[in-house]
Homo-oligomer: A and B are copies of this chain.
Amino acid sequence: LPIHRQNFPRPLSKLNSLAVYGPGLIGGSILRACGKCFPDLELRVWGRSREHLEEVSRALHGRCFTSTDAVAVATGAEGVIFCTPVDFMEELAQKIAHAAGSARWFTDAGSVKGSLVLRLKKILGHRYLGAHPMAGSEKTGFANATESLFQNSVCILTPTAETADETQREVADFWRSLGCRITESDPFVHDQMVAQVSHLPHLAAAALVQAVGRDAFSVAGPGFRDSTRIAMGDAEMWAGILLENREAVLDALLNLETILQSATGALRSNDRDCILELLASAAEKRSQIF
């Protein structure tokens, strides 16, 4: 999808520099989109390895400041976005809070929000607004980043009572400028929702793959391919997400197990009505979602 410039409204005309922490799939896609569409925006990138940062710099035709020094990247940035694994964000925020004293806003792209938002707002205050862009792929890393990743994806913002109005407006505009459709949620409600539509399906896809004997590989068709695609996601990243959100994931998982147990009972007793009801109501419900 080409990025339509009309999707990129005022906010970034006001933003002179953006610091991106973690140029993986998400951070890299933000950089590519900004590099392409906002020629006057200064891009500052922090990553853990020099080689990785050199790849980023080449892709952006040198149009960025890159460093493995988190403080150096924060210095002078007006907007800051954390795209690292969620369990690393608090440490980063603490490290750069002082150097980013003049930043107007901070956001992040973490898949889990509840406790993370509490921890980051304690450090960054009213200038922080959590976000979760529902975009991505089983492919990870900067090599797979694309400028169009966020086009028409949903971005969930998770404001709290302390979030400044100005922060809320500017962060929403930033994500909107990448092509996102904005929605808002309480951070903990967010976690329950994504446990159901994202985290549980990841766990279930992995379990489905593990439930298949290697002999059966040869007959796997497009249904299996699609329903287990997300099982190829980055294991380290997803283990972090599942554990960070384990209360909500456990709730969703118990719900799934109850449904599967009921199906097991229905198959055992040859209860056609019960199986049909499960399949028919799921088909009807699923067809309303997209």
Contacts and interface: CB of A to CB of B under 8 A. Distances in A.
Given A257-B257, A263-B253, A275-B239, A215 B193 contact: yes
Nearest to A273: B239
Given A253-B264, A267-B253, A282 B231 contact: yes
A109 B236 CA distance: 42
Interface stretch (A15-23, A53-61, A99-107, A242-250): A242-250
B250 A267 contact: yes
A197 B221 contact: yes
Interface residues of A, number: 89
Contact of A256 (B252, B260, B286): B260
A211 B275 contact: no
A196 interface: yes
Given A239-B275, A283-B206, A219 B154 contact: yes
A210 B253 CA distance: 12
A135 B272 CA distance: 25
Contacts of A49: none
A268 interface: yes
Interface of A: 134-137, 153-154, 156, 183, 185, 189-190, 192-194, 196-198, 200-213, 215-236, 238-239, 242-243, 246, 249-250, 252-257, 259-261, 263-264, 267-268, 270, 272, 275-276, 278-283, 285-290
